[in-house]
Structure 1
């Protein structure tokens, strides 16, 4: 009788250990089993909610091609590497307020493009190169990252094409598409408080400055410490 009871307890214990393994947790002898199960339950719940949040925010994928009066936006390709590297990715002035340092080698640009292409395929994030429509000249890149009910925007433009309204034209086209999607309620972007040109672009496309995010983001070409940023947004129905 006692041996049978012990066998049942042992079977339950081994089943719980198996459950923890399925949840990718290591059984730590220093943690009581009950506590470990609470952690496991929390992680399982978090994963479920995370998946549900992503699914509930899924809608139509962005179009692969956007066209404006002067520009054409298309997904990046691996053979764009040299043009991107030479036109802006290696330029310290262009990358001053970006979150990455200038590329010192074209292989860095290739690795970046590989990530962009894989993100498109997975539907995690969507990047387009910006081309002059008539010439086919690559002049920059723009990105939209859709998560649940919101989307974040980022862009970069080669220096010879600054102050010509190209960034405003490209960003405006992407933001206008995003705000028309039934599952997207907020488009937002941040820029360094000293990046006056980028702030002006965001204001021109109808975004409102919400405030300053203090010590929010690292711009390694300016400082080794996190920088203050302006937060801009465009919200549906407001």
Structure 2
């Protein structure tokens, strides 16, 4: 699989994370509980934890066990968000099915940047040989993400009960909508 570490859109540079990004990532979302409310990981305690997490992301790139891109809008020197694809390996070997996740810093919502990033990442993933599906789970009480995923071209396939962990909001897993984009058997998207 040839996932590119840098993707460009008309307004964004999406690039793989670096350890040097840690202060910005920590300040803008990784250390901010309100930015992580709908995600399945806890806020980082400090910049050191964020740096370790970004180094883990780099190792995942190397091993092809995960792919993360930081969002840098045109004219912005530091990241304002992140998009990630994690392989869902039904056969333990291939990268046929990828799970999408994303987070955006406060103050950057409402500009269409995450929609643009998600569209670019999903299109790039589905263009890879052997990748046939990208999907995302979205809490039923998160209408902003529901709109974003639909606007990015993913189709809502239905609701899954008690499937999404959100430790920053509650103890029990919540119901989630499943959105997906896929390739047909003939390779059409």
Superposition TM-score, scaled by structure 2 size: 0.90
The equivalent of 2:145 in structure 1 is 198
Q: Is the 8 A contact 1:70 1:134 kept in 2?
A: no
1:120 aligns with 2:67: no
SS in 2 for 1:124: coil
Q: Is the 8 A contact 2:44 2:50 kept in 1?
A: yes
Tell me, which stretches of 5 or more residues in structure 2 are unaligned?
none
Q: Which whole-Å CA distance do the structure 2 matches of 1:194 and 1:92 have between them?
A: 17
SS in 2 for 1:72: strand
Q: Which whole-Å CA distance do the structure 1 matches of 2:76 and 2:177 have between them?
A: 35
* Structure 1 runs of 4+ with >3 Å offset: none
Equivalent position to 1:163, from 104, 110, 117: 110
Q: Which whole-Å CA distance do the structure 2 matches of 1:137 and 1:112 have between them?
A: 17
Q: Specify the structure having the higher radius of gyration (Cα).
A: 1
Count residues in correspondence: 179
1:79 aligns with 2:30: no
Deviations 1:68-108 (A, max 9, x none): 11110111111111010011112221111011122222222
Tell me, which stretches of 5 or more residues in structure 1 are unaligned?
1-59
Deviations 1:206-228 (A, max 9, x none): 11111111110210111111111
Q: Which whole-Å CA distance do the structure 2 matches of 1:205 and 1:159 have between them?
A: 20
Q: Which whole-Å CA distance do the structure 1 matches of 2:45 and 2:110 have between them?
A: 26
Q: CA deviation at 1:230?
A: 0.8
Q: CA deviation at 1:134?
A: 2.4
1:95 aligns with 2:36: yes
The equivalent of 1:216 in structure 2 is 163
More strand by share: 2
Computed over aligned residues only, the root mean square deviation of the Cα atoms, in angstroms, reads: 1.3
Q: Is the 8 A contact 2:21 2:78 kept in 1?
A: no
Deviations 1:184-203 (A, max 9, x none): 11111101111111111110
The equivalent of 2:128 in structure 1 is 181
Q: Which whole-Å CA distance do the structure 2 matches of 1:110 and 1:65 have between them?
A: 20
1:61 aligns with 2:2: yes
The equivalent of 2:77 in structure 1 is 136
Q: Is the 8 A contact 1:168 1:204 kept in 2?
A: yes
